[in-house]
Structures are given as structure tokens and as C-alpha cells.
């Protein structure tokens, strides 16, 4: 505690008399008593390297803005980074609705005080279910990686098995989350993870390797479509049949903005569909703006294994009036406590508003048009980059918005190239050389509807100048 009893207006309870009153209320004489349960061995004993204390709110605001001004953002730089968090256009109406006071916090409050919150949840679920061609969808979880992990655990509970098969090219951040989420305290209940090889010529799943790994312990076969490397997995139906024949669930991770031009996973055999809502009216938010979705068909074998909350519509006592509220809450730990399937806490419920607005605004035709725009832009960019001497596309397969560019013949590393692009106010592709060394000096480039011919041509010109 500050021995000088300094009062900081922007820190609650820093006034000595207020602090003393608070401590008296909870029965302590020193603030450090609040931390007694933390073992001494794990407490930091050194001195933090902190700047001089800033006594006023205006000063702290100036200090923070000075730090933030060092950021390089996508309004000032052309952006070709993706890898799970891509730049998409957000219509102004999405922010207008989501920023309404009654929606700024969608956590808490009962049905009598929800200000339309539960109706928005229901509308979001209905719109996403239509896009995915599935009947059952929950409110969002934290991110697409967590949705993947939850879907895999659901599959293990449904089948009573303990092995899952994932593609070697899976998003490494999502894979790390899945590995952590599937760990068990009891080794006998450990869920085994096996990575299925992907073909070096196409980037798609190696079906022969998949067949060799499928057995009576396999709970789920999981694929990404489009894949993390942007490739459209055209073997989806065959993979689904192989999974079904082995008695396993078929889980597909998809980018929902692609579903205006690509078939919904449900229509080529997916029993559980997962993904991230990012791109449907959500900003980049310095790496945030992520929210996961999980969907299935209207089948109680699956429904009872969902851990997230679900909202439904019912008639009220007033004729012609509809009400909205949480349904089937007995599935969750809110009702079952420690006996719940899994824990579910504060979710990304706020994101349901802009997503619902975005899907309502776009409609089926709009989703088709934006999908075509993305694919057209990405194809143009890939052709421009592949025309630069020493630069090539790593895979010939059809892709959606991302594609792998190889720089092995240029004599420069992706890291070097990206640093030089930064000096030209361009965010280059994500460096794949660490996570996928077999791809050599390759980068994952992402091109969405926000890219135009001018920005793509500027990227190609910058690379041409850097490499030659």
C-alpha cells in the first residue's frame, strides 16, 4: 500500500478515509491481507519497473494516448494479414445498433429487464442457423478455438471414445487451445490427439493417412474448410463418409463469410459445425473481436451435450405476444453446478447484436456477392504476386481469401520481406516458416473485400522493388 497515502482520482478507494472504511467493512487492517492466500513462493519480490506516478486523470490519459500512438493500424497501412483474424468491412449500422446503451452490457439481467437482449440472442441464433443450414445454435463462446475444443469434447461424450483426428495444417493457435482444453486430471480419461497428414502437392487432407488412423477409439474427425492455409477442402463429403463409417463425429470448422459461395458443412455430412464470428460485422479491435459458434442438427443426442446457453421464443400470457428467454438450462453448470458437462461463464454475448445486424443487412444475395468479391480479389492478388520473379504460389488448389506465397528462390526470408514492407506502410503475409517449416520461406497472404486493385498493385510493386 502507498505509504504516502496518495489519492489518485482515477483509482477507486484510494482516498485514505474511504480505504479505511472499506477495510473496516471487510475486517482487515492492511490491504495486503487480501493476498494472504497467495503462497509467498509465487509472489513477486522484486521492484516493478514503473514510471513515476501520474497524479491526475488528464495526465494518465495523455500517457496512455502516447503509448497507443505508437501502434500501426489498418487505416494507415495496407493490410494483407489474416490467419484467423482478417480485415473485413463493418457497415456503420452494426456499430450504431451495438453501441446502444441497453445493449452495451448483455451479461446479467433477467428477462423482465433485458431491454430486448434475449430477442437479439434468438435472432442471432436463427440467422446463423440458416446460414449454416443447421437447426440448433448457442450464444457465442470466447473464440473459434474454444468452439473447436468444445465441439471435440462434445464428440467424446457422445461417442464414449477418447481419440480425435485433426489436420496437420490446423491453425496453430487453435491447436494449442484444443490441446490445453482436452487435458484431463485423470490420465485414464485423457483425450488423445492425432494429427492427420496433408498432401504436400495440394495442401488437402491425406485420405490414406486418415484411413490408417480411424479406429474404434476415434471420437471425431475434424477439418477446417477453408483450411488455415486458405485451401477449399473439396474432399469434405468423402471425409464425412469415412468418419461416419468408423462411428465417429464429423466436425467442420468454417469461416461463415465464405458460406455465400461455399456449401454449408451440414450438407456434406458435418454433424457439428464450429467457427469464429469474426468477419460478420466485428472489428479487428487490436486482435480482439473474436467469438466462437457451435451448431448441430435438431437432435437431442447433440443438444444435451452443449454447454452454452440457448435462447428460445414462447408465447406469453398476452394473446399474440412473444417472449424470449433461456431454454434447456438444465444442460449447463448453472443448473448442474459441478456436475455440468463443462463450465460456461461470461460469454461474448455483445457480439450477437452486430452479427445479427450484419446478416440481416446482407441477406442471402449480399453474402453471395461478398463471397464472390473476396474470391475475385484474392485470385487477382495471387496472380500478381506469382508474376514476380522468384515468387510462387505454394499450392495449386482453389482457395477462398488466403493463399500461401513462397519466397525460397528470392534469397530473402519472410521476416526480412515483411520488415521492408512495413517501411512502405504495408502489413505483409503471416510468416509460416516457424509453424510449418516444411513449407520453407512461405507466407500466408489474406485478401478480403476491403482490398482494391490499387492496394494490391501497390503490394506487388513493393515486393518487386524489395526482391529485385
Write the CATH number for 352: 3.40.640.10
Which stretches within 228-351 are classed as H helix?
236-245, 300-303, 333-336
| Cell representation of residue 416 | 526480412
Domain tally for the chain?
Answer: 3
Does residue 226 have a cis peptide bond before it, meaning omega lies within 30 degrees of 0? yes
Give 145: exposed, middle or buried? Use CB within 10 Å, 0-12, 13-18, 19+: buried
We report the CATH number of the domain holding residue 431 as: 3.90.1150.10
Mark which of 333, 358, 383 sits at the end of a domain.
358
Asked if residue 413 and residue 313 are part of one domain, the reply reads no
Asked whether residue 347 falls in the same domain as residue 372, the answer is no
Assess contact for 218 and 207: CB atoms under 8 A. no
Tell me what pLDDT residue 107 has.
Answer: 60
Query: Would you say 428 and 66 are in contact if contact means Cβ atoms under 8 Å apart?
Result: no
CA distances (Å), 333 to each of 336, 337, 378, in order? 5, 4, 44
Calpha distance 257→275 (Å, rounded): 11
pLDDT (0 to 100) of residue 350: 84
What pLDDT score was predicted for residue 16? 86
Q: Are 206 and 198 within 8 A, CB to CB?
A: yes
Residue 79 near residue 377 (C-beta atoms within 8 A): no
Distance CA 150, CA 308 (A): 10
* Domain co-membership, 388 together with 253: no
Q: Classify residue 176 as left (phi > 0), alpha (psi -120 to 50) or beta.
A: alpha
What domain range includes position 440? Answer: 78-89+364-467
Domain match, 369 and 232 both: no
CB 403 within 8 A of CB 378: yes
Let me know whether 122 and 264 are in one domain. Answer: yes
115 domain-assigned: yes
d(CA 307, CA 41) in angstroms, rounded, equals 36
Q: For residue 68, what are the contacts with CB-CB under 8 A and spacing of at least 6?
A: none
- Grouping H, G, I as helix, E, B as strand and the rest as coil, residue 253 is strand
Same structural domain, 185 and 38: no
Rounded CA separation 344/334 (Å): 8
Predicted confidence at residue 280, as pLDDT, reads: 97
* Residues 169, 171, 172, 174, CA torsion sign: negative
pLDDT of residue 190: 84
Pick out the chain residues at pLDDT < 70.
1-5, 105-114, 185, 346
313 shares its domain with 191: yes
Residues 334 and 219 in one domain: yes
Q: For position 269, what pLDDT does the model report?
A: 97
Residue 72 lies in a domain: no
Identify whether 414 is part of a domain. yes
Gap between the Cα atoms of 59 and 45, Å rounded: 29
Measured distance CA(84)–CA(287) in Å, rounded: 10
Does some domain include residue 51?
Answer: no
Beta strand residue intervals within 160-307, DSSP E: 163-167, 192-196, 218-224, 249-254, 272-276, 292-296
The alpha carbon of residue 148 and the mean position of all alpha carbons in its chain are separated, in whole angstroms, by 10
Decide if 62 is inside a domain.
no
Distance (Å, rounded) from C-alpha 211 to C-alpha 336? 39
Does residue 64 belong to any structural domain of this protein? no
**How many of the other CB atoms lie within 10 Å of CB of 62?**
11
Strands (E) in 298-450, as ranges, are: 310-315, 322-327, 392-393, 402-406, 426-427, 430-431, 442-446
pTM for the whole structure: 0.89
Q: Residues 293, 316: contact at Cβ < 8 Å?
A: no
Indicate if 112 and 163 belong to the same structural domain: yes
SS3 408: helix
Matching residue, cell 506502410: 425
Angle between helix 144-159 and 172-181 (nearest 10): 40
In terms of domains, do 201 and 99 share one?
Answer: yes
Amino acid at each position: 500500500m502507498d505509504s504516502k497515502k496518495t489519492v489518485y482520482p482515477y483509482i477507486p478507494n484510494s482516498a485514505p478515509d474511504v480505504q479505511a472504511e472499506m477495510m473496516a467493512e471487510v475486517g482487515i487492517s492492511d490491504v495486503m491481507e487480501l493476498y494472504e492466500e497467495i503462497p509467498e513462493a509465487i509472489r513477486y519480490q522484486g521492484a516493478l519497473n514503473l514510471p513515476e506516478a501520474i497524479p491526475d486523470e488528464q495526465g494518465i490519459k495523455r500517457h496512455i494516448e502516447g503509448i497507443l500512438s505508437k501502434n500501426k493500424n489498418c487505416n494507415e497501412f495496407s493490410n494483407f494479414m489474416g490467419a484467423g483474424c482478417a480485415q473485413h468491412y463493418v457497415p456503420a449500422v452494426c456499430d450504431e445498433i451495438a453501441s446502444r446503451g441497453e445493449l452495451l452490457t448483455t451479461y446479467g439481467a433477467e428477462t423482465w429487464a433485458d431491454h430486448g437482449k434475449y430477442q437479439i440472442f434468438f435472432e442471432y441464433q436463427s440467422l446463423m442457423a440458416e446460414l449454416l443450414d443447421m437447426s440448433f445454435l448457442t450464444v457465442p463462446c470466447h473464440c473459434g478455438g474454444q468452439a473447436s475444443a468444445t465441439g471435440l469434447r462434445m464428440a467424446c461424450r457422445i461417442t464414449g471414445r477418447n481419440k480425435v483426428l485433426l489436420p496437420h495444417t490446423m491453425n496453430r493457435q487453435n491447436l494449442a487451445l484444443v490441446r490445453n482444453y482436452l487435458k484431463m486430471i485423470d490420465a485414464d480419461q485423457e483425450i488423445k490427439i492425432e494429427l492427420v497428414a496433408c498432401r504436400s502437392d495440394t495442401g488437402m487432407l491425406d485420405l490414406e493417412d486418415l484411413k490408417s488412423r480411424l479406429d474404434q477409439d476415434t471420437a471425431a474427425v475434424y477439418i477446417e474448410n477453408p483450411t488455415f492455409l486458405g485451401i477449399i477442402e473439396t474432399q469434405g463429403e468423402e471425409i464425412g463418409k469415412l468418419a461416419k463409417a468408423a462411428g465417429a463425429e464429423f466436425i467442420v470448422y468454417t469461416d461463415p463469410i465464405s458460406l455465400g459461395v461455399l456449401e454449408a458443412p451440414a450438407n456434406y455430412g458435418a454433424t457439428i459445425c464450429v467457427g469464429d464470428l469474426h468477419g460478420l460485422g466485428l472489428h479487428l479491435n487490436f486482435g480482439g473481436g473474436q467469438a466462437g459458434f457451435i451448431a448441430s442438427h435438431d437432435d437431442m443426442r447433440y443438444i444435451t451435450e452443449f454447454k452454452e446457453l440457448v435462447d428460445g421464443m414462447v408465447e406469453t400470457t398476452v394473446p399474440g405476444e412473444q417472449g424470449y428467454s433461456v431454454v434447456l438450462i438444465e444442460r449447463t453448470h448453472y443448473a448442474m453446478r459441478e456436475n455440468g458437462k463443462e463450465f460456461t461463464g461470461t460469454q461474448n454475448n455483445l457480439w450477437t447484436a452486430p452479427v445479427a445486424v450484419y446478416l440481416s443487412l446482407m441477406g442471402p444475395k449480399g453474402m453471395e456477392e461478398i463471397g464472390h468479391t473476396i474470391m475475385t480479389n484474392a485470385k487477382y492478388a495471387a496472380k500478381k504476386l506469382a508474376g514476380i520473379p522468384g515468387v510462387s504460389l505454394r499450392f495449386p488448389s482453389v482457395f477462398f481469401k488466403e493463399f500461401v506465397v513462397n519466397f525460397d528462390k528470392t534469397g530473402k526470408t519472410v521476416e526480412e520481406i515483411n520488415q521492408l514492407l512495413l517501411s512502405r506502410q504495408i502489413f505483409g503475409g503471416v510468416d509460416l516458416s516457424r509453424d510449418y517449416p516444411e513449407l520453407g520461406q512461405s507466407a500466408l497472404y489474406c485478401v478480403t473485400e476491403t482490398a482494391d486493385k490499387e492496394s494490391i498493385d501497390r503490394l506487388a510493386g513493393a515486393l518487386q522493388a524489395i526482391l529485385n
